[in-house]
Amino acid sequence: MNRIAVSPIVLRWARDRAGLAVAELEGKFPHLADWEAEEAKPTMKQLENFAKATRVPFGFLFLPEPPQMRLPFADFRTLENRRPQGISPELMDTIQLMQRRQRWLREDRIEADVETLSFIGSATTSDDPAAIGREMRRVVGLDENWAQRVPNWTTAVGELRNAIESLGIMAIINGVVGNNTRRKLDIDEFRGFALSDPYAPLIFVNGADAKSAQMFTLAHELAHLWLGDVGEGLSGYKGIQPDGGEVETFCDRAAAEFLVPEAEIRGAWPSVANSETPFEKLAGRFKVSPVVIGRRAMDLRLVDRDEFFSFYDYYSRQERFKKRRGGGRGGDFYNNQNTRVGRLFASHVIRAAKEGRIGFKEAYDLSGLNGGSFQEYARRLGVSFP
pLDDT at 86: 79
Give residue 93's identity as a one-letter amino acid code.
D
Give the N- to C-terminal CA distance of the chain in Å, as an integer: 54
Cβ neighbours of 146 (radius 10 Å): 17
pLDDT at 255: 93
- For residues 101 and 195, the answer to whether their CB atoms sit within 8 Å is no
Q: Name which of 181, 188, 18, 198 is nearest 92 in CA terms.
A: 18
pLDDT at 330: 60
pLDDT at 26: 87
Integer Cα distance of 6 and 333 in angstroms:
42
Count Cβ atoms within 10 A of the Cβ of residue 351 and give its class: 0-12 exposed, 13-18 middle, 19 or more buried.
Answer: middle
Domain boundaries, the chain: 8-62, 87-259, 337-380
* H helix runs in 112-166, sequence order: 129-140, 153-165
Cβ neighbours of 57 (radius 10 Å): 10
- For residues 385 and 354, the answer to whether their CB atoms sit within 8 Å is yes
Q: DSSP assignment of 230-256, as one string? A: GG-EEE--SSS---S-HHHHHHHHHHH
The pTM is what?
0.86
| Residues in Cβ contact with 16 at an 8 Å cutoff, skipping those fewer than 6 apart | 84, 85
pLDDT at 243: 57
Phi and psi (nearest 5°) for 76? Answer: -95, 10
Which residues is 193 bridged to in the sheet? Answer: 204, 234
- For residues 214 and 205, the answer to whether their CB atoms sit within 8 Å is yes
Integer Cα distance of 138 and 218 in angstroms:
16
Which residues is 171 bridged to in the sheet? Answer: 203
pLDDT lower than 50: segments of the chain: none
